[in-house]
Amino acid sequence: MSWLRRLLGLVVLMILSMAAHPPAVLAFLIEMHSGPGAAYEVVATLPAVGSFVAVAQEQPRRREDQTATWSLRTLQRRLRREGLDRIGTSTIRRVLQDAGSAYQRTRTWCPTGTAVRQRKSGPVRVVDPETEEKRDLIEHACRLAEQSGVPLWCQDEAGPYQAIPQPGASWAPEGDPVRQPHEYVRGGTAKLLTLFRPATGEVRATGVTSAPNAVLHPWLKEELCQILSTLPAVVPTVTSAPFIPDWWQRRQEVAERATNPPLRLILIWDNLAGHKTPGLVQWLCHQGILPLYTPLSGSWLNMAEALQRIIARRALDGQHPQTATEIIAWLEETVAGWNADPTPFVWDGKRRERRRRARQRRLGGAAAVVDQSQLFAA
What kind and span of H or E run contains 202?
strand 202-208
What pLDDT is recorded for position 159? 81
Quick one: 42 exposed, middle or buried, by C-beta within 10 A (0-12, 13-18, 19+)? Answer: buried
What pLDDT is recorded for position 24? 43
Options 3.40.50.2300, 2.60.40.1730, 3.30.505.10, 3.30.420.10; CATH of 131-169+185-370? 3.30.420.10
Residue 70 per-residue DSSP state: -
User: Binning pLDDT at 50, 70 and 90, where does residue 29 land?
Assistant: very low
Domain residues of the chain, as ranges? 2-98, 131-169+185-370
Helix (H, G, I), strand (E, B) or coil at 212: coil
The span from the CA of 180 to the CA of 278, in Å, is 47
Rounded mean pLDDT, 242-250: 70
Q: What is the pTM of this model?
A: 0.70
Alpha carbon 216 to chain centroid, angstroms: 25
What pLDDT is recorded for position 18? 41
What pLDDT is recorded for position 364? 45
Which of 65-79, 116-130, 247-261 is predicted least confidently?
Answer: 247-261
The span from the CA of 354 to the CA of 23, in Å, is 37
Q: Which residues contact 1 (CB under 8 A, 6 or more apart)?
A: none
- CA dist 280 to 153, 244, 265, 294, Å? 17, 19, 15, 17
Which of 142-146, 238-242, 319-323 is predicted least confidently?
Answer: 238-242
What pLDDT is recorded for position 252? 59
Rounded mean pLDDT, 319-342: 91
Residues 135 and 112: beta-carbon distance below 8 Å: yes
Position with higher pLDDT, 243 vs 293: 293
Given a cut of 70, whether residue 346 has pLDDT beyond it is yes
Given a cut of 70, whether residue 287 has pLDDT beyond it is yes
Encoded amino acid at 362, one letter: R
Mean pLDDT, the chain, integer? 78
pLDDT digits (tens, 9 = 90+) for 288-298: 888 899 998 88
Q: Given the DSSP bridges, would you call strands 265-269 and 152-162 parallel, antiparallel or unpaired?
A: parallel
Given a cut of 70, whether residue 86 has pLDDT beyond it is yes
pLDDT digits (tens, 9 = 90+) for 47-85: 455 667 788 888 888 888 888 888 888 888 888 887 777
pLDDT digits (tens, 9 = 90+) for 180-224: 888 788 888 899 999 999 999 999 999 999 888 889 999 999 999
Strands, sheet with 202-208, edge to edge from the N-terminal-most edge strand: 202-208, 189-197, 152-162, 265-269, 289-293
Instruction: Enumerate long-range contacts of 19-25, CB under 8 Å, 24 or more apart.
Output: 19/47, 20/47, 20/48, 20/51, 21/46, 21/47, 21/48, 22/48, 22/83, 23/79, 23/82, 23/83, 23/84, 24/83
